[in-house]
A and B are shown apart, each in its own frame.
Chain A
Amino acid sequence: MQVRNHHDLWAGLMFIAFGAIFMILSQQYQIGTAAKMGPGYFPTILGGLLALLGLAISLSAFAKSNHEAKVAPTGWRELILILLAVILFAATLPQLGIVIALLVLVLVSSLASHEFNLRDTILGAIFLIVLTYVVFVKGLELQFPLWPKFLTA
């Protein structure tokens, strides 16, 4: 038994996991009957189907007829920096306001590029913040806290 298609193996296992989680969580809700379905009915069926399908897919990863595929390496640097930038934006926005939140977002996310350039990044950040202010805050009147709370209060 050798894994030929790593994509299928992991996708299948992921489906099994999702299916099982949803099935287990559904058990805390009323299942009901076919004529009177409770909130647990449909998710239980779907979760079961997904887990079965996942099993079939992960088994097919061993099939001789399946084409070979390896999972490409994860770009941790890009993944973490981009997600971190978004998380920091959301974390800072309510207290520190949109100007600082956007500055953080642009600076942190720019680090993810392999050709990072500090001068361009800062110019870009300023341009984007002004653009956001003109278009979203003034033009479209979307509601944002603009500046840090301790300054405006």
Chain B
Amino acid sequence: MDQLFSNLALGFATAATLDNLFYCFIGVLLGTLIGVLPGIGPLATIAMLLPITYKMTDPVTALIMLAGIYYGAQYGGSTTAILVNLPGESSSVVTVLDGYQMARRGRAGPALAVAAMASFFAGTVATFLLAAFAPPLAEVAFKFGPAEYFSLMVLGLIAAVVLAHGSIWKALGMVILGLLLGMIGTDVNSGVARFSFDVPELSDGVEFVAVAMGMFGFAEIILNLEQKENREVFTNKVNNIFPRWPDMKAAFPAMFRGTALGSLLGILPGGGAVLSSFASYAIEKKISKTPQEFGKGAIQGVAGPEAANNAGAQTSFIPMLTLGIPTTPVMALMVAAMMIHNIQPGPQVMTSNPTLFWGLIASMWIGNLMLVILNLPLIGLWVKLLSVRYRVLYPAILLFCCVGAYSINNNVFDVFMTIPFAILGYVLKKLSCEPAPMLLGFVLGKLMEEYLRRAMTISRGDWTVFFTRPLSLTLLILAGILLVIVFLPAIGKKREEAFASDD
């Protein structure tokens, strides 16, 4: 406990320097600003804003800012969900259900306020959980050998498949495709440049940011343009922000439950933020005395999922920071950002870079606080932003992406690389394949191969090594249970229902 507080003190001392506070603020502001725009999720937002951090000398500052962008974008997505009936990103899909209905009834203000409070509350709890559970988890990570790492990645990828929208089989195919695309580039063991077709730039592999921008940025823009826009924005109806007392009384318990659920599911690999918001909505509806109110503007339907997705977003940092394994595409971008600053993510970060580790954690709480302070008075501004037409907006998004892709290596090659991935992302969307699992596979590809090789070299070619080591076996059993669960008819149906509203 003492240790926890001294760690947090170190964190706050790091995060509260003028520089870091400033960049945290800028991150949260920019994240919200861009996150509010419909059709741009946190992933595209971070990818777009990544170049801002290239020139920063201190990696702590860069990560603090990126984290700020992340939860800013997440929160911005909720604002859009409530005001425009369009989820800014997948985890605010359920917020649309009741948030928008509240807005239609002239209660957009309270809906936004409750969303902000729920997010802040969840963020606070999740920050402490992160601080409390990260060190013991990192201890466990030191016991991990190559076999365990491999099994952990299998678990992570399976979880990503289970949590993906739509067909499990297609999601599985997407993961494998991602792993294969991740193989492109020089093989660390033999030095052979694989699948590079003698293109020198490809021998370093495909830049993750280019993949993310192509698949999430450009493909998304093209798809949005295909649909002629039809938005109903509640621009003039946001007054009277503060929720009434009965609202609060209804919202608080939902917030608690949402936070607990989100924190738990967020740690699971595979993107807990989305699942936890769905699960929270389902639970709130189930235990409510007035379930018929859901879908018509029930405040619990906003408070619960909002708390859950924010808690989940926060705790998804745990596996990334302690094990060095990104469990969501957003975390993969965080890893990419760390690598740009020459920090290899893993359990050693906590000991070798304590200021970075604890500073980042402390900044999350500060960032969440800023979000609340920033958002309640600025709601008017976000509303104005929402009335900007898409035809003005998307060239700006394209521009930021192109500038960002170029700036990774100051080379137009990475800009060209976005093209095949934009096409791939477009085709996949048309065939209702979810791109997120592919991105995760892409990031883990080389790591997974490396750990597989090492484990197999140690066992001298004996595949049973993954089942005879208890930790590894446990992880694989967990992965197996996940798969079995989805294929159970009852749960499979529930899963379809949960994602059905997203189409």
A positions within 8 Å CB-CB of B: 7-8, 10-11, 14-15, 18-19, 22, 25-26, 29-30, 33-39, 42-43, 46-47, 49-50, 53-54, 56-57, 60, 69, 71-72, 74-75, 78-79, 82-83, 85-87, 89-91, 93-94, 98, 102, 105-106, 109-110, 112-117, 120-121, 124-125, 128, 132, 136, 140-144
Chain B positions within 8 Å of A78 at CB level: 222, 225-226
CB within 8 Å for A142 and B179 given contacts A69-B432, A72-B430, A93-B412: no
Contact between chains at A142 and B194 (CB < 8 Å)? no
Contact between chains at B402 and A15 (CB < 8 Å)? no
**Interface residue SS majority, chain B:** helix
- Residue among A57, A82, A87, A89 making CB contact with B221, cutoff 8 Å: A82
Q: List 15 A-B contacts (CB under 8 A).
A: A15-B176, A18-B180, A19-B180, A36-B461, A39-B190, A53-B173, A57-B167, A74-B430, A78-B226, A105-B402, A121-B395, A132-B399, A136-B407, A143-B407, A143-B410
Contact between chains at A29 and B399 (CB < 8 Å)? no
B435-471 contact mask (Cβ, 8 Å, vs A): 1 or 0: 0000000000000010011001101111100000000
CB within 8 Å for A110 and B391 given contacts A53-B169, A74-B430, A86-B419: yes
Q: Is B192 interfacial (CB 8 A cutoff)?
A: yes
CB within 8 Å for A42 and B452 given contacts A36-B457, A142-B407: yes
CB distance from A130 to the nearest CB of B (A): 12
A62–B460 alpha-carbon span in the complex (Å) = 44
CB within 8 Å for A86 and B170 given contacts A113-B390, A140-B55: no
CB distance from B171 to the nearest CB of A (A): 11
Which chain B residues numbered 384 to 423 have a C-beta less than 8 Å away from chain A?
Answer: 389-392, 394-396, 398-399, 402-403, 406-407, 410, 412, 415-416, 418-419, 422-423
A45–B396 alpha-carbon span in the complex (Å) = 42
CB within 8 Å for A11 and B457 given contacts A90-B415, A93-B406: no
CB distance from A119 to the nearest CB of B (A): 12
A149–B237 alpha-carbon span in the complex (Å) = 53
CB within 8 Å for A83 and B391 given contacts A43-B183, A113-B225: no
Closest to A124 in B: B392
Number of A-B contacts defined by CB within 8 Å: 188
Contact between chains at B179 and A46 (CB < 8 Å)? yes
Chain B positions within 8 Å of A46 at CB level: 176, 179-180, 183
Chain B positions within 8 Å of A93 at CB level: 406, 412, 415
A141–B398 alpha-carbon span in the complex (Å) = 20
CB within 8 Å for A79 and B391 given contacts A54-B173, A90-B402: no
- Residue of B180, B218, B407 with most chain A CB atoms under a 10 A cut-off: B180
CB distance from B298 to the nearest CB of A (A): 30
CB distance from B235 to the nearest CB of A (A): 19
Q: Is B381 interfacial (CB 8 A cutoff)?
A: no
CB distance from A148 to the nearest CB of B (A): 15
A124–B388 alpha-carbon span in the complex (Å) = 12
- Residue among B398, B399, B430, B453 making CB contact with A82, cutoff 8 Å: B398
Closest to B392 in A: A124
Closest to A48 in B: B176
Q: Is B54 interfacial (CB 8 A cutoff)?
A: yes
Contact between chains at B394 and A142 (CB < 8 Å)? no
